[in-house]
Amino acid sequence: MTACLPRLGAIAVLAALASACTTQSLACRDADAAERSLFAAIVAHDQNRVASLMAAEGRETANRLRALDPEIQAQLFGTRMGDRSVRTVMMRPPLCLIDEPQGSNARVTYVFPAGRFDALQNPGMTGLQTGEPGYDHAACRFVMENGQWRLADACLTTFRPRPAVG
């Protein structure tokens, strides 16, 4: 029986290591200066500033934003304070950002109020748990343009279905 104890200990250690390898550890990052400027423009409901911060790839969306397109206005800013919108998420700092690469020149950044991020993550599930769009998170697509990450979609990725992982 005592000869089995070292083996059981080794098996327990290996099981713990295997478990740790399958559990994805997600760590928040803070917004950089450009992201803080963008998020401040969203909170201020400054559609012209948001449009001016967008990449060339998002020109059509930027033009619709400047023209006060009601669909974009509702998703980005909401019609009333507290509506499901990107702005509702941005108004609940501190913010937690999680980047999901989309190739070498694009990424989707998920933005959570920090407390919501912590509450949504379930150790029994793999991957990022995002919760309800426009309440628990916002999702903004960025592309690399002239060496800088620039907004490509006015954060409208928030309300698109998230692709299946794996």
Residue 71 maps to a domain? yes
Return the pLDDT at 16: 37
Q: Residue 126: which CATH number? A: 3.10.450
Answer yes or no: is 2 within a domain: no
The angle subtended at Cα 142 by Cα 153 and Cα 104, nearest 5°, is 135
Mean pLDDT for 1-24 is 41
Domain tally, the chain? 1
- The answer to the question of residue 46 being in a domain is yes
Asked if the structure places residue 101 within a domain, the reply is yes
Residue 166 in any domain: the answer is no
Indicate whether 14 belongs to any domain. no
Confidence (pTM) = 0.81
Domain that holds residue 136: 26-159
Indicate whether 117 belongs to any domain.
yes
Q: Is residue 44 part of a domain?
A: yes
* Contacts of residue 12, Cβ cutoff 8 Å, sequence gap at least 6: none
Query: Which range has the worst mean pLDDT, 33-42, 73-82, 149-158?
Result: 73-82
Q: Do residues 9 and 54 make contact, with C-beta atoms less than 8 angstroms apart?
A: no
